[in-house]
Homo-oligomer: A and B are copies of this chain.
Amino acid sequence: MRVPYCVPAAMSVEFSARQSVEQVEEGRELAPKFDAEGLIPCVTTAAGTGEVLMLGYMNAEALRRTIETGEAHYWSRSRQVLWHKGATSGLVQKVVELRIDDDQDAVWLRVQIPGDASCHVGYRSCFYRSVPLGPGDFSRVLKFEEQHKAFDPKKVYGDAPNPTKL
């Protein structure tokens, strides 16, 4: 039977089975470890500045699509859907490099972002506040490290529900 010309190729980056510590740590096989919920955490940094933009999660499909398309895909835990970052906001993340860690249970994406913004609250990075360090028995007042929002989330997301959960 002839396969019709227009059928797209299956998304089928292959993952190896995890067989030994040496294979996972010192080898060249991609053998990611997903947690009990089928997810792997992903650190995403700005390729230019090294700033950490966000910490997200991928399921196997999100990781495969990210590798195949070169655009960051995540699993949205709040919405329980595959999440092509930027599909709503236009803030697509172009992946410059994808790395995996020693025991292959975490991913690091270096990305380029349009408009210099990534966070749904409107800031450049999700990590826009710092915590004062040092000894002492008291509450810590967070310091805003970004003084202004890069975009107005109401204009970008409209009435879409806020993903933050208490």
Contacts and interface: CB of A to CB of B under 8 A. Distances in A.
Contacts of A12: 137
A14 to B, nearest CB: 5
Interface string A9-43: 11011101011110011111110010000000101
Contact of A9 (B102, B123, B135): B135
A51 B50 contact: yes
A68 B136 contact: yes
Contacts of A156: none
Interface residues of A, number: 70
B25 A67 contact: no
Interface in A112-166: 119-121, 123, 126-145, 162-166
B67 A131 contact: yes
- Which 8 residue pairs spanning A and B have beta carbons closest together? A50-B50, A103-B164, A99-B127, A55-B106, A101-B126, A28-B142, A14-B139, A108-B127
Given A52-B99, A100-B130, A102-B119, 14 more contacts: A9-B135, A14-B138, A21-B166, A25-B164, A28-B141, A30-B142, A49-B50, A52-B108, A55-B106, A68-B133, A70-B133, A97-B130, A99-B127, A103-B164
Interface of A: 9-10, 12-14, 16, 18-21, 24-30, 33, 41, 43, 45, 49-52, 54-55, 67-70, 95, 97-103, 106, 108, 119-121, 123, 126-145, 162-166
